[in-house]
Amino acid sequence: MIKILFVCLGNICRSPLAEAICNAKIKEYGLESSLLTDSAGTSTYHIGEDPDPRSIEVARAHHTPISHKGRQVSSSDKHEFQYIMAMDRSNFQNIVSMLGEQPEGLYLMRDFDPESRGAEVPDPYYGGQQGFEDVYQMLDRSCEELIDFIREKHNI
């Protein structure tokens, strides 16, 4: 089983949305027995909380089931997950600090975005609904390529 962890600051906007999108694609491709996802935050702001209502709204608009309770990245994550996907450079650095090293499978989420490789997924928290839609589209493209990358690398 290959495990993917999506990480942002508070674990209520970008990372649970990425998890939901990736889970929908995993199900669509029949890869439930090969891939497993989770999401976490680098802060303690929203531990135990549901995703932001705007993340839920944009996921539902795209018929993407979303269900998650916020949690913080833990040191055991570097051993449990083969892929850790940071939404931006700040969280990338926070992950390295929290885990005490840069795990082999740590990437920026948009390293897999064919429209803007290596860019950051902006935090839509302080913006309007269009920001959540824009983030959904970035994550959708990135998740597609991430799954293709993993399937090719691991022959699944």
For domain 2-154, give its CATH number from 3.40.50.970, 3.40.50.2300, 1.10.10.60, 3.30.1330.10.
3.40.50.2300
Catalytic residue chosen out of the listed positions 8, 13, 22, 143: 8
117 catalytic, yes or no?
A: no
Catalytic residue chosen out of the listed positions 14, 54, 71, 110: 14
Predicted confidence pLDDT, tens digits, the chain (156 residues): 999 999 999 999 999 999 999 999 999 999 999 999 999 999 988 899 999 999 999 999 999 999 999 999 999 999 999 999 999 999 999 999 999 999 999 999 999 999 999 999 999 999 889 999 999 999 999 999 999 999 999 999
User: Which among 99, 97, 98, 117 is positioned nearest to 108, based on CA atoms?
Assistant: 117
Domain ranges of the chain: 2-154
CB contact set of 7 (below 8 Å; sequence gap of 6+): 15, 39, 40, 41, 42, 73, 84, 85, 86, 87, 91, 95
Cα separation, 73 vs 43, whole angstroms? 8
123 catalytic, yes or no?
A: yes
For every residue of 62-87, DSSP letters joined together read TT--------B--TTHHHH-SEEEES
Catalytic residue chosen out of the listed positions 38, 52, 123, 140: 123
13 catalytic, yes or no?
A: no
